Amino acid sequence: MKVPLLDLAAQYASIRPEIDAALDRVVASQRFVLGPVVQACEEAVADYVGSAHGIGVSSGTDALLVALMAEEIGPGDEVVTTPFSFFATAGAISRVGATPVFVDIDPATFNIDPGLIEERTTARTRAILPVHLFGQMAGMAPIMEIARRRGLAVIEDAAQAIGARHDGHGAGASGHYGCFSFYPTKNLSGYGDGGIVVTDDPARAEKLRALRVHGETTRYHHRIVGGNFRLDALQAAVIHAKLPHLDRWTDARIANAALYRRLLGDPAARPTDGSTRNPEGTQSPDTLVLPRVVTERHVFNQFVVRVADRDRVQARLAAAGIGTAIYYPVPLHLQECFAELGYRPGDFPNAERAANEVLALPIFPELTAEQIRHVAQNMVDIVLYG
């Protein structure tokens, strides 16, 4: 049995008439840049997330970049963030000329540890940039309290977490900015690059709209320097057409994760008689650690386990026709381009251990129970019996 890491064709097949009709309407209109289709998408996504304003942009990376630009963060400034994330998190900080200041992660959630943030802030700190990794929110309440006391902006990297919730807030709606990606691998995706920034602040929203069109407020008049960060209408049409299906797809991801937990021996699913074997007949030794859910709604953009002998396990799964991925094999503080920051191996042990152990298993909504059982059985056989 072949089990891919992601099957976008299956999703498309399930909603093809809606997608094709949405694209046909854009092509017929011949309005491809911004316009009413983009505006409708922005309003729908902002409403879904729980924010007042949505500003569509060209990618999740550019969402982070334009939010930093809106705060006028640049050379001499510092932004506190996590070393365990996709490169864009720190790359955007560096691109505006600021310095990323890393804080180790909570090993249970892979997200930035809020208890370590304040000791890394200085007089040069301008913002905190937490990441809601793999579909689960970071601890926003303590982060927002630190930001309030120190007068810092909070820019949420929610690229992997649309629809996630904790403490009554949706991902992206707690901070001053929420940044999302519509890259094809995301829970809500377009057919190429795309992103959005959400905010409750009308002044910030107005500035973001200007920055995405070279700082233009009226045609050919520029009070600030921006960039070409526009979301095109074709991507907006796809995203808007998919949005009504997002909760159903998320529920399927959550159900798939629950089945994985049962099959792989989540301690919560073990029998009360004290045995180590669960009803499905598999075990969960210390060499296989399942993702921990500590928030109200984990949307499982990825289902990431920890495996001590990760590379061998991945190779064996590939030989069995099972797709996996490693997010992320090199933490940001050890990337060559950040060598001048002076970090060394051992500086952030939780992030470094995660980089050596994480393995993402297939979790997309269209997975069948049979496929999940196949993945789980191979995992158990490989991890337990070599």
Whole-angstrom Cα distance, residue 191 to residue 178?
21
Q: Cβ atoms within 10 A of the Cβ of 344, count? A: 9
Q: Cβ atoms within 10 A of the Cβ of 149, count? A: 10
Q: Identify the pLDDT of residue 173.
A: 97
Q: Cβ atoms within 10 A of the Cβ of 24, count? A: 11
> Tens digits of per-residue pLDDT, 53-68?
999 999 999 999 999 9
105: left (phi over 0), alpha (psi -120 to 50) or beta: beta
Those residues with Cβ within 8 angstroms of residue 364's Cβ, 6 or more apart along the chain or in another chain? 5, 6, 7, 10, 11, 253
Q: How far is CA 124 from the centre of its chain?
A: 27
Instruction: Domain ranges for the chain, please list them.
Output: 8-244, 245-385
Give me the count of residues in the chain: 386
SS3 199: strand
Residue 40 pLDDT > 90: yes
Question: What mean pLDDT do residues 276-291 have?
Answer: 56
Amino acid at 195: G
Separation in Å, CA 164 to CA 93, 142, 336, 378:
24, 18, 33, 30
Task: Report percent pLDDT > 70 for the chain.
Answer: 94
100 touches 341 (CB < 8 A):
yes
Phi then psi for residue 193, to 5 deg, are -85, 150
CA-based torsion, 69, 75, 81, 83: positive or negative? positive
141 touches 167 (CB < 8 A):
yes
Question: What mean pLDDT do residues 343-358 have?
Answer: 98
- Thinking of the domain 8-244, which architecture would CATH place it in? 3-Layer(aba) Sandwich (3.40)
> Tens digits of per-residue pLDDT, 174-188?
999 999 999 999 999
Q: Identify the pLDDT of residue 139.
A: 96
205 touches 199 (CB < 8 A):
yes
DSSP annotation of 255: H
Q: Identify the pLDDT of residue 286.
A: 54
Task: Report percent pLDDT > 90 for the chain.
Answer: 92
For residue 358, the cross-strand partners are 306
Helical (H) or strand (E) element with 53: strand 53-57
Which residue is associated with the tokens 């499982």?
A: 300
Whole-angstrom Cα distance, residue 140 to residue 165?
11
Whole-angstrom Cα distance, residue 339 to residue 332?
10
Whole-angstrom Cα distance, residue 227 to residue 223?
13
Those residues with Cβ within 8 angstroms of residue 378's Cβ, 6 or more apart along the chain or in another chain? 316, 317, 320, 322
Give the residue among 304, 301, 268 at the shortest CA–CA distance from 288: 304
Question: What mean pLDDT do residues 148-153 have?
Answer: 98
For the chain, give percent helix, strand, coil, nearest 5: 45, 15, 40
Question: What mean pLDDT do residues 313-325 have?
Answer: 97
pLDDT-derived band at 250, boundaries 50, 70, 90:
very high
Helical (H) or strand (E) element with 88: helix 88-95
Whole-angstrom Cα distance, residue 218 to residue 201?
21
130 touches 156 (CB < 8 A):
yes
Q: What is the DSSP string of 149-173?
A: HHT-EEEEE-TT-TT-EETTEETTS
> Tens digits of per-residue pLDDT, 102-139?
999 999 999 999 999 999 999 999 999 999 999 999 99
- Thinking of the domain 245-385, which architecture would CATH place it in? Alpha-Beta Complex (3.90)
Q: Which two three-digit tokens encode residue 162?
A: 């649309």
